[in-house]
Amino acid sequence: MVAVATPARVDVNVDALPAHEPYRVSVAEYVAFRQQGFLVVPQLVSPEDVDELRRHTEDLMQGQLPEQRAAKLAERDTHGDSGVSMQELAAPPEHLSPEAKAEYFLRIHMLHRKLALHERYLLHPRVLDVLEALIGPDVLALQSMLFLKPPGKPGQGWHQDSYYIPTHPDSLCGAWIAIDDCDELNGAMWMATGSQHEPVYPPKQGYGHGDRTLADATAVGGVSDPDDAHNDLARIADRYPQLLVPARAGDVVFFGGHVLHRSKKNFSADRFRRSFVGHYCNARSFTQWGADAAVDPATGMTNGSHILARGDTHLPFAQPRFGTPCAATLPPEARRRHGEVASMPMGDMDDGMMGMEPADPDIEHDHGDDEE
């Protein structure tokens, strides 16, 4: 079942808010995220921030950043891989025209480990405000991606993000900041709304993660292939209403790690579909993904490679390389106060009702006549 529709949006007048005032997620937004598997928060990122991101991205596309001049571009077949992905910070070949340079890359991964601006937007306080409500209160920043998607570039077929970035418990959430307005013509995202209730389907072979404990969770092939005939997840996505998710520059789309989503080709002649995407999980979830620091030899845990963005955690975490303020930069005492939320459990009151009593593990509870 396929239908083009605009998902429910909750308009927010961010122009009336002072800079960096915390964003408060509404009940309607919280419910929409749980029901749909995704949430669009209009104009969460200010026009000034979007302009900064756009200018930076245009400089990067032309190879004008100082950091790019020091990096060497690996040789690759741009026709064979369709300019799909780059892991390194590099400039396009110098001999190309400005137009060809702008169309050279489709996406670049993990630039928050190389550029201060990308670290700052991965830890954008208004984005973290929403994440704190949806998956927090403790938030770990895992991944950044810059999508450029020039005209004519391909989309990405149906997939689940937790297939690529497993966390345990599974609390993965993406935050997709629109740098350009996007719609069906230039390759906006599609969501199989309600599919967040599906398990993560494991791969038939090769890289990928999924739930192999369920008796009938069949292994899948062709994940992310834009051709539905070759992507086994397309049959699962067809069980759900498939909604086009248009966005204006400054809108942020939040989506859980299980929800099936895709994008299609940029069919426009001259419009890019640029976006800055971060992936996050609850900071008390365990992950073995994305190491760039020492890995725990006993468990393979890589939490120490990722930045504690909000709250606190009993697990290792990394400091921001460029000093962006976040929970990781707070003193331990401040983080601990943020996590003191369970000091008053439910207990019997003298009047026979249930209420809140101070937690003291050294007090022996006397059930008395209430004991069953």
- pLDDT tens digits, one per residue of 86-96: 567 888 999 99
pLDDT of residue 76: 46
CA distance 131 to 138: 9
Instruction: Name the pairing type of β-strands 189-192 and 286-287.
Output: unpaired
The share of the chain scoring above pLDDT 90, in percent, equals 75
Higher-confidence position of 357 and 323: 323
Q: Is the pLDDT of residue 17 over 50?
A: no
What is residue 336's predicted lDDT score, i.e. its pLDDT?
Answer: 85
Q: Average pLDDT in the 59-82 region?
A: 70
Give the tens place of pLDDT for each residue, 184-237.
999 999 999 999 999 999 999 999 999 999 999 999 999 999 999 999 999 999
Mean pLDDT in residue range 129-136 = 97
Q: What is the band of 351 on the pLDDT scale with cuts at 50, 70, 90? A: confident
Q: Quote the pLDDT of residue 98.
A: 96
Please indicate whether residue 316 or residue 78 has the higher confidence score (pLDDT): 316
> Which residues, in sequence order, are CB contacts of 41 under 8 Å at separation 6+?
10, 12, 23, 29, 130, 251, 252, 254
pLDDT at position 88 is 72
For the cut 70, the answer to whether the pLDDT of residue 4 exceeds it is no
Using pLDDT thresholds of 50, 70 and 90, give the confidence band for residue 6: very low
Q: What pLDDT score does 367 carry?
A: 52
Count Cβ atoms below 10 Å from residue 256 Cβ, excluding itself: 25
pLDDT band for 346, please (50, 70, 90 cuts).
low
Give domain limits for the chain: 14-338
Which stretch, 20-29, 59-68, 241-250, has highest mean pLDDT?
A: 241-250
Which pLDDT belongs to residue 337? 78
Q: Which pLDDT does position 142 carry in this prediction?
A: 98
- Are the C-beta atoms of residues 163 and 289 closer than 8 Å to each other? no
**Residue 2 confidence (pLDDT) above 90:** no
Superfamily for the 14-338 domain: q2cbj1_9rhob like domain (2.60.120.620)
**Distances, alpha carbon 318 to alpha carbons 28, 114, 141, 162, 204, in Å:** 34, 15, 10, 21, 34
Confidence of residue 73 (pLDDT cuts 50, 70, 90): low
pTM of the model: 0.87
Is 1's pLDDT higher than 60?
no
Which tens digit of pLDDT belongs to each residue from 135-155? Answer: 999 999 999 999 999 999 999
Question: With bands split at pLDDT 50, 70 and 90, how would you rate the model's confidence at 74?
Answer: low
Task: Identify the bridge partners of residue 347 per DSSP, sorted by sequence position.
Answer: 355
Cis check: omega of the bond before 169, within 30 degrees of 0: yes
